Amino acid sequence: MVSSAGRFAELDPLLPPPVPLASGERLRAVTASGTQVSAMLQRYRHGPGDAPLLWSAAEVWQLFPDPETAGTEGFDALLGALRSQVDTEAPGADSACVVNWPSRDAEAIRAFLDHGLVPLSALAVRPAVVPENVETDASIRLAGPDDYPVALALCTATFDYTGLVAHRKREQTAELLGPALRRALGEKATWLAEVDGEVAALAQCDWVESTPGSEAAELLPSGRWGYVNNVVTAPASRGSGIGRALMARAHRELLNQGATGTYLYYNPTNPLSSVFWHRQGYRPLWTSWEAHPAWALR
């Protein structure tokens, strides 16, 4: 059997070495051809004021297959075991089964699709390549604390759209976004594009260090990463090149300040952002496969 580090490196050279999970419940299964497979199962419950509700169900059963798991049969057996476990617990309507797995594992994808999981979100990375200049009529500037109301309205507009093409929008979206956005506006890593003096687009970014033992090291190679958190163009201004111009500026600034590369989460089911981010030089590293509600897992 290939070691777990070897298996991940074979799948995708950009994956960091797998990190053993500190907690969870061990699930075991045997494939039709007699191979033993196992995974850890973690359970989360988010309360009404918890920010993860922006991108997550309230009740989550998250499966972490052992990193050396290989082949459709193995994932098939593990997902069968997960379904049996979920059946013993009667999940509510606001629930999900989730598996976050290297995007390039095609054999695993066969099993995920067969079990009714959908690729709802992906972590994508972009190497440290300086972007070309983009001609634009928009003027681009750093955002600050005074921009909070317009920034909040734009960030909320992201969820009006992603609420149609990915996770459902929550009634309390603005309240959930508020605290992190206020902090972000004080940190000089959010840019706004203005057209005729009106704010037309926003790119809210941040810094994330991936060092051995850190949470980020579970997903990203070591380094100081620019995190592109929320990018949105006001609905009436979409498709006119503002997003490209804004990201050219944001990428250049993050790279000038020493970013190893940049990363973000996007929804593969989003017909605008999936095309936009791939053209911006991003490619998926991890894909989050989800069944909502949890009993939709087959």
Task: Provide the binding-site residues for ligand COA, judged by CB under 6 A.
Answer: 158, 161-162, 201, 231-233, 238-244, 266, 270, 272-273, 276, 279
CB of 69 to ligand COA, least distance (A): 29
| Nearer of residues 109 and 200 to ligand COA, judged by Cβ | 200
The letter for the amino acid at 108 is A
| Nearer of residues 40 and 272 to ligand COA, judged by Cβ | 272
| Nearer of residues 262 and 270 to ligand COA, judged by Cβ | 270
| Nearer of residues 38 and 240 to ligand COA, judged by Cβ | 240
Dihedral of CA atoms 244, 248, 250, 256 in degrees, nearest 10, equals 170
CB of 244 to ligand COA, least distance (A): 4
Tell me the pairing of strands 95-102 and 118-127. Answer: unpaired
Q: How many helices (H) and strands (E) does the chain have?
A: 7, 11
CB of 58 to ligand COA, least distance (A): 22
**How many residues can be counted in the chain?**
298
CB of 191 to ligand COA, least distance (A): 13
Structure tokens given for 11: 């799948």
What whole-number distance in Å separates Cα of residue 113 and Cα of residue 243?
A: 32
Q: Which residue is nearest to ligand COA (CB)?
A: 243
| Nearer of residues 73 and 253 to ligand COA, judged by Cβ | 253
Question: ω before 65 within 30° of 0 (cis)?
Answer: no
CB of 263 to ligand COA, least distance (A): 12
What whole-number distance in Å separates Cα of residue 127 and Cα of residue 230?
A: 19
| Nearer of residues 185 and 232 to ligand COA, judged by Cβ | 232
Dihedral of CA atoms 101, 107, 110, 113 in degrees, nearest 10, equals 0
CB of 277 to ligand COA, least distance (A): 7
What whole-number distance in Å separates Cα of residue 157 and Cα of residue 161?
A: 7
